[in-house]
Structure 1
Amino acid sequence: MDTTVSSSLPLRVARAVTEVLSPAVVVPLLSFAVAWHATAHDVVATLGWGLLVTVFYAAIPMAIVVRGARGGRWDGHWVRERERRLVPFLLILVSTVAGLVVMLAGSAPRDVLALAWSMVVTLLACLVITRWWKVSVHATVAGGALATVVLLYGPWYLLSLPALVLVGWSRVVVEDHTVAQVVVGTVLGPVVGGVVFLAIR
């Protein structure tokens, strides 16, 4: 048996998980899930509010990091170097705040606004922490998303907890984060994002 191929399999799986369960994927899914609940299952309204959140909280942020990576401003679309995370985080914060302003002006449903506020405050927390330490944004977003879905749809969704563990595992295996950075992110999302979500909704 080829030990090189065998030993690289976990790394390949981890890389795939890092992309498939990245914030760029989780945030849109969460946006539509929250909008679906907030609009009492109105398909048109769900699409409208879900797309709005997706644009300002996932599409534009991803465009920012990809553009910066292609321009050589940081080392890739996940910005592995802590010192270089401050600029993209600030730019993403501008996008999220702009999205929040649009939602406030458009009288977005309460739960959608709560989601927007929770993501803005969580991003601010990550930004502050990043001044001195590197926290896993993948784990933060995944943890916050799980907490939000459980709050809206019930405890049965805790059955998706293995996906959260998988996200954390992948970030450690690809060597983008330490176990501590993943654990802090996993707790940060539900604690900060979840509390803000509950407080506003």
Structure 2
Amino acid sequence: MTGVAAGRDLRLAGRISAWCEPRNWMLAAAPLVGWRADGAPGAAWGVLAAVVTGVVPSLFITAGGRLRRWGSGLPERRDRLAAAPWIVFPVAAGAVALHHLGAPSAVTALVVAMTAVLCALAAITTAWKVSAHSAVAAGTSAVLILAYGSWMLPLAAVATATAWSRLRLGRHTAAQVVVGVTVGAAAAGTVFALLR
């Protein structure tokens, strides 16, 4: 690959990685799951779920980076472990709150499914670095396919592109993105299918 082509490749990978970060998957998916469950009222619940799963953890990650409790973007395994409670707890608390407030079961199931993915990632991270981008992309895609059916299957290509971007940027190895995809899809898909 020529230098120009490699540079283009890296720019594309950077854009995909930024567009398909975990927060953005949740900001898009939660209202869609809510809409599927109960139309406009369900979508409103989905917006609340998006705040809980996408916005709040991102605020904690940013604040922790500014306070130098972990590196910006959580590049190292130790950074991820330090941030894990600040990511998992608000999502888990959000799932409990949504359930008690009467959100549609599919919306609550999505948040519980993402909690399961985050817990699995945290457990793996105690021993090995794994791709959270890939896990959330695959997990969210699995949930949307279960919610909407086969016409959401093209999301698998977007999840694959997300995994490729992490690999191409050198943020993860092939094994780390494969494990991320597998864990994300299996955990989120199973939990969502059982609870919705």
- One fold, TM greater than 0.5? yes
5+ residue gaps, structure 1:
none
State the partner residue of 1:29.
28
1:181-200 Cα deviation digits (max 9, x unpaired): 00111111111111011111
Letter in 1 for 2:177: V
1:72 deviation in Å? 2.4
Return closer, same or farther for 1:83/1:29 CA change in 2, 3 Å cut-off: same
1:47 deviation in Å? 4.0
Once residues 4 and 68 of structure 1 are traced to their aligned partners in structure 2, the CA distance between those partners, rounded to angstroms, is 36
Once residues 92 and 107 of structure 2 are traced to their aligned partners in structure 1, the CA distance between those partners, rounded to angstroms, is 14
CA contact (8 A) 2:134 2:184 kept: yes
CA contact (8 A) 2:25 2:137 kept: yes
Name the % identity: 34
The structure 1 residue matched to 2:134, chosen from 136, 139, 156, is 139
For normalisation by structure 1, the TM-score amounts to 0.92
Letter in 2 for 1:63: L
Once residues 166 and 148 of structure 2 are traced to their aligned partners in structure 1, the CA distance between those partners, rounded to angstroms, is 27
4+ residue runs of structure 1 moved beyond 4 angstroms?
none
1:48 deviation in Å? 2.3
Alignment of 1:177 with 2:176, yes or no, is: no
- Match runs of 1:37-186 below 5 Å: 37-39=36-38, 41=39, 43=40, 45-77=41-73, 79-186=74-181
1:92-129 Cα deviation digits (max 9, x unpaired): 11111221121122111111111111111111111110
For normalisation by structure 2, the TM-score amounts to 0.94
Once residues 128 and 5 of structure 1 are traced to their aligned partners in structure 2, the CA distance between those partners, rounded to angstroms, is 40
CA contact (8 A) 2:112 2:191 kept: yes
CA contact (8 A) 2:95 2:112 kept: yes
Letter in 2 for 1:103: L
5+ residue gaps, structure 2:
none
Letter in 2 for 1:88: A
Once residues 125 and 63 of structure 1 are traced to their aligned partners in structure 2, the CA distance between those partners, rounded to angstroms, is 21
Secondary structure of the residue aligned to 1:85 is helix
Once residues 161 and 192 of structure 1 are traced to their aligned partners in structure 2, the CA distance between those partners, rounded to angstroms, is 16
